[in-house]
Amino acid sequence: MKTDTANKIIKFIQDNGKTTAKQLYDHLEISPQAVFKQLKKLLDAKQLIKQGKPPKVFYSIIEAETITRAYYFSEEISDIINHNFYSVTPSGEEKRGSDGFIYWCEKRKLNVESSAKDYMSILKKCDTYKKDGLIDGLSKMNSTFKKVFLDALYYQDFYAIERFGKTRLGQILLYAKQSQSKEQMRFLIKEIKPSVDYLIRKYSINGIGFIPPTVKRHVQLMTEIERGLHLTVPRISLIKLKTKIIVPQKTLNKLEDRIENAINTILVDEVKTFDNVLLIDDAVGSGATLNETAHHLRKKGIVRGKIVALAVTGSFKGFDVISEV
């Protein structure tokens, strides 16, 4: 049962549309603490939604047609969806787990329960490519390039899967880069940190290179990843040459163009030598940048042993274009 204060909050928002907490406690003439207590209850009861970030946060009514009805999922399917599903609405609202999955299906007029079974089946198929929590992407490279200069390539996850599109990490990677969200970048760092530590131990890594970005941004994902991993392993200096016209890899649809771009714009500015090296990138579409970076390292004689690569996400097979990131 809603309290008198909760009813007044609902009425005010119905009459005035999107509302701030300050507008509410100014209008109701009660303490901010009392307003926030009622707002939390109304949010938990899914009668209100919260949009924006401090200091600009607004509350609005959830319209009846946007409230999803209950569906039955088995415990196994529910666990898989709650752990893996993540999407972002056109208005920038995060949708996670079962609630997000139901919303996603209903928006597309899909049968929720049968779609949930398909989702579980596809994720299980993807899991067959994983070992120690990582996807082995080297077979993709071998099927794409005549000469592969990497000894191993791993993804934390696929960027996208059949039918359901971008994976949880694919979504978070996309919006971390596009919105330059440090919060989502920190989430990515937390996700890949155990894998980075694992590969350092497994391959006795004593040199790490971070693939430099092409497009200038106020907050650079790879810079944040490099800082956030807090690694003590020596860095290898990799430079993305600045050209008169910046041509991001994601704009090139031909493999030979991507190879040419990587050959001519990636520079290894290093004189030290290393036994085994780990290269870290955000996403692997064609794999041209990582392969040519490894080629440069080999040509300069900087690496005596293995060159291993890790990407947050990668495409499923062969030459692919991840044009969004």
Query: Does residue 262 sit in helix, strand or coil?
Result: helix
Name residues whose C-beta falls within 8 Å of residue 127's C-beta, 6 or more positions apart in sequence: none
Give me the pLDDT at residue 317, please.
67
- Same domain, residue pair 27 and 167: no
Evaluate if residue 315 carries a pLDDT over 90.
no
Region 232-237 average pLDDT: 96
Asked whether residue 154 is domain-assigned, the answer is: yes
110-164 pLDDT, tens digit each: 999 999 999 999 999 998 888 889 999 998 888 889 999 999 999 999 999 999 9
Is-contact 94 86, C-beta < 8 A? Answer: yes
Asked whether residue 42 is domain-assigned, the answer is: yes
pTM over 0.85: no
165-198 pLDDT, tens digit each: 999 999 999 999 888 889 999 999 999 999 999 9
Nearest to 305 by CA among 319, 294, 316, 290: 294
Asked whether residue 237 is domain-assigned, the answer is: yes
Give me the pLDDT at residue 69, please.
58
Give me the pLDDT at residue 118, please.
96
Q: Which helix (H) or strand (E) holds 313?
A: strand 307-314
- The CATH number of the domain where 237 resides is what? 3.40.50
255-265 pLDDT, tens digit each: 888 888 888 88
Asked whether residue 101 is domain-assigned, the answer is: yes
Sign, CA dihedral 256-260-266-268, equals positive
- Same domain, residue pair 104 and 40: no
Alpha-carbon span 79 to 76, nearest angstrom: 5
- Same domain, residue pair 153 and 253: yes
Q: How far is CA 309 from CA 108, 124, 206, 278, in A?
A: 37, 24, 13, 5
- Same domain, residue pair 37 and 97: no
- The CATH number of the domain where 53 resides is what? 1.10.10.10
Query: Does residue 170 sit in helix, strand or coil?
Result: helix
- Same domain, residue pair 295 and 173: yes
47-87 pLDDT, tens digit each: 888 888 788 889 988 765 444 456 888 999 999 999 999 99
200 — phi, psi (to 5°)? -60, -45
Domain count within the chain: 3
Asked whether residue 321 is domain-assigned, the answer is: no
Is-contact 277 306, C-beta < 8 A? Answer: yes
Q: How far is CA 195 from CA 157, 188, 189, 201, 280, in A?
A: 11, 12, 10, 10, 11
Asked whether residue 319 is domain-assigned, the answer is: no
Name residues whose C-beta falls within 8 Å of residue 47's C-beta, 6 or more positions apart in sequence: 10, 61, 62
Is-contact 95 86, C-beta < 8 A? Answer: yes
Alpha-carbon span 182 to 196, nearest angstrom: 20
Q: Which helix (H) or strand (E) holds 95?
A: strand 94-96
Alpha-carbon span 285 to 229, nearest angstrom: 23
Give me the pLDDT at residue 63, please.
66
Give me the pLDDT at residue 217, please.
82
Of 50, 65, 80, which residue constitutes the final position of a domain?
A: 65
Q: Which two tokens stand for residue 25?
A: 């406690």
Name residues whose C-beta falls within 8 Å of residue 66's C-beta, 6 or more positions apart in sequence: none
Alpha-carbon span 246 to 159, nearest angstrom: 24
The overall average pLDDT reported for the chain is 89
Asked whether residue 320 is domain-assigned, the answer is: no
Evaluate if residue 35 carries a pLDDT over 70.
yes
Asked whether residue 218 is domain-assigned, the answer is: yes
- Same domain, residue pair 97 and 192: no
Give me the pLDDT at residue 67, please.
47
- Same domain, residue pair 235 and 298: yes
Residue 56 is part of which domain span? 4-65
